[in-house]
Structure 1
Amino acid sequence: MEISSLYSTLPLAFLLLLTLKLFSSWFKQPKNLPPSPPSIPILGHLHLLKHPLHRTLHSLSQSYGPVFSLCFGYRRVVVVSSVEAAEECYTKNDITLANRPSTVAGRHIGYDNTIVAVASYGEQWRSLRRAYTLEIFSSARLNSFLPIRRDEIKRLLLNLNKRASASGDDFTKVELKPIFWEMTFNIVMRMLTGKRYYGEDVTDAEEAKVFREIMSEIVEYAVSAYPGDYLSILRLFFRNYEKRVTWLRKRSDELLQNLIEEQRNSRRKRCGGECREAVLDHLLLLQEKQPEFYADEIIKGLVLVRTNWTIFRISSSSWNTAYI
């Protein structure tokens, strides 16, 4: 009887201690925060969030001003909705606001929050940003890819002409989003790896299929809200999320590592030589000169961020249909 009574009491004691801890952290909130709507203990303002989110935030700004604070579980956020305040945040106080909260997706997919999209401000972040600015997005580097952009635009126009000719009608309805998706993604991947992954004439059909599936799923998990990031106890009820993110980390890491090894072997066959136009080849050349920074994980992170940013931008675009 005593043992069974102990087993029934322990869970209640655990929940009581957890509740006391949450409440104690709740009442230790800083006092110099912007105005905030009434909140619910533990949940904070999660109950206020409704779709569409931008209209909810706009409605709250009408009552609490252009700068107000919210609490998502134990995470504090500040909402800025005026041009003047946003300008001040991104100019005078940009370094102060440069840190990012740690998330489950960032730890698993983002190589323990070391890629530039999720890393906090510091020497690592500054080095990554410098690499993007000089080695990927510099004017000289982008200009060197002009033939790739011209070729993909030509392919798009030929595709549209083929569809128009096949229809036989005066006007043909065309879905623009998949066409621009294909063109933009192929431009980026040819810049990064020298490979086409969408549409006809892909470099490797099976590799392209796997790459598209993994990267699209990474974007889905990276931008989705995971309850466990706001209330740790909820991770007990959303275990599938962490399992899936861990699986994605393994698959994407294997895929990116294979791309690196393939490019590295190609360089060896050329006995080093001058770098080709692919960014990945150029990054491996930098790795030979600066191995202490351009490790494989850094290179994979650079490719991952550039690829998924493209997918995210295309997914959130408003391209619709047109008649040709």
Structure 2
Amino acid sequence: MAEEESAAATAAIVEEEGVPTRLWVSVNSLSQKKPVTLFVEDVDKTRGATSGENAAVASTVSDLVTETIKAEILYQQDQAKVAVESVDSVVDEAIRTELQHKAQATTHDKVPYTELTLALIKPDALKAGYEREIRYTMQAHGFVIVHESQIQFTNVRAALFYDHHQDKPWFEKLTRYMSSAPVHAFVLGKVRAARSWNVAIGPTDPEQARKESPLSLRARFGKDILRNAVHGSFNAARARHEIKLLFPNLILDPLLDPPKARFYFDKFLKKTLIEGLTALATAKPHSEPLQVIRWFAQWLQHHNPYRPFVDGKKHVEVVIPD
């Protein structure tokens, strides 16, 4: 068998018993998902091919390669278009859903972004076993628990936390109480979270809470003004201060509203995601979904245009575990 190669094409003279020797040309094609093979002509092996026949074969190979390249370009364009349409449809559907929700919401719910607030289950309520009921109240009022942890205040840390009360006569008593046993801290997310949580917990004095808001947490679980079961930040600004004090590594950036989210996506994410999804559709790296996700995660890591540089080199890569 003799072979002649040109670009992505392979020309081969194939001998078959009982028939003239035949010349075939084959080109690998992604769009066809298989080699494209073209029969050129019969060749009389005993006399060999003439210069004219060789020229005809070369021309046929060249034409086939040209057509295959055109087909591949169209295929890649189609794959990119599919990726763009897929990403756009997901984002558009998310925005439509969010806008529909906002249109149906009551006026006081129409705020630009979700707030965060801090909630504490104080030592008396935690020791009495009220955590389960307090969690249920959080869920019933529509809060999302963004982060939580059990914390043991020191007297100094409690003094920093309640610094806005340091001129009160009961300040030292409060800090001693809050550092006497563990508390459970929650970062809660919801629209107007600080205001909503303060409504759920009720007035500071449990006796007043039982009169004005008998279903509130302080009315149900509080004993007195000091041991009133729970803490809540009195406004969003104070919540950010308290969260930063207890959870310094927690990101407090507010969620973007849909138009700003779409602008951010189009400017910083869309181009890279489209390129990545196109590469994924072309490579078809694995049949297992988790392996596909792993491949895509590694692709995004290596092709992130915003990866920081350290001493002129890309930042140390994050190892993606198996």
Specify if TM > 0.5: no
For the aligned pair, the TM-score class normalised by the smaller chain equals under 0.3
Q: Higher relative contact order by CA 8 Å / sep ≥ 6: 1 or 2?
A: 1
Kindly indicate which of the two structures has a greater share of residues assigned to helix: 1
The higher radius of gyration belongs to 2
The TM-score with structure 1 as length reference comes to 0.21
Bigger share in strand: 2
> TM-score w.r.t. structure 2 length?
0.22
